[in-house]
Amino acid sequence: MPRSFTQVRLFLYHTPSSDSLLSLDLQPKNILLRIADPTVLKDAEEAEIEEPSPRKITEQTIIFETRDLPGLVDRWIWSGSRPVLCDFGEARTGKDSYTELIQPAFYRAPEVFLHLPWGTRVDIWNFGCMVGLVIASPFLSLIC
């Protein structure tokens, strides 16, 4: 298991549940890692200037197509990077349980789908989904 997953797992295990964060909306886009080589940002900027990403322009915004990051992954993700959890907009605090919907459907715990009371265990479910995707991703690319 990658070191960053182990650190997130330890964080979840040691986070108290009463009168503190109850759910963290744990998903890959809410976990940041330190960039190993800051020059990759300049490379990405130059690649965008040389060959702009396709985009859709609406009345309210511009939507850019996602593009692969230039260079090797080792330049982007530092091996000693500690994960930083971010975007606590959907985080819940205080009560021991809730019943409203949270989490993206893809990572949603069964008790949330069923509108049953849920608590800190939903983050463990999210974490398990993320680890499962990392483990299964080589196999999913073969069948998808």
The token pair at 103 is 């989490």
User: Is there a contact between 17 and 97 (Cβ–Cβ < 8 Å)?
Assistant: no
What's the CA gap between 69 and 91, in Å, rounded?
30
Catalytic residue status for 43: no
In terms of DSSP bridges, do strands 84-85 and 62-64 run parallel, antiparallel, or are they unpaired?
Answer: unpaired
Per annotation, catalytic residue among 19, 37, 68, 123:
37
Amino acid of residue 38 = P
Residues tagged active-site: 37
